[in-house]
Amino acid sequence: MNEQEMLKQKLADLRSEHRDLDDVITRLSERAPFDQLQLQRLKKRKLALKDQIALLESRMLPDIIA
């Protein structure tokens, strides 16, 4: 497995985890009494995943000299 394929797999895993967290956050916030601290932690993790996804996507793009 070359580096490009490994990056694609890691990117797919991160996107999947990001979607799962989105679902968990939605379900948690729909319940009447919910743990605000847990919700904040989940949102923080989701933002960290988004940053990792953006970093991997930028690494996968070829460098273009302008």
Query: What's the confidence (pLDDT) of residue 32?
Result: 77
Q: At what angle do helices 3-30 and 36-60 cross, to 10 degrees?
A: 160
* Tokens 């989105």 -> residue: 22
pLDDT digits (tens, 9 = 90+) for 25-62: 999 988 878 889 999 999 999 999 999 999 999 888 87
* Res 66 pLDDT > 70: no
Calpha distance 21→45 (Å, rounded): 8
pTM: 0.82
Calpha distance 36→40 (Å, rounded): 6
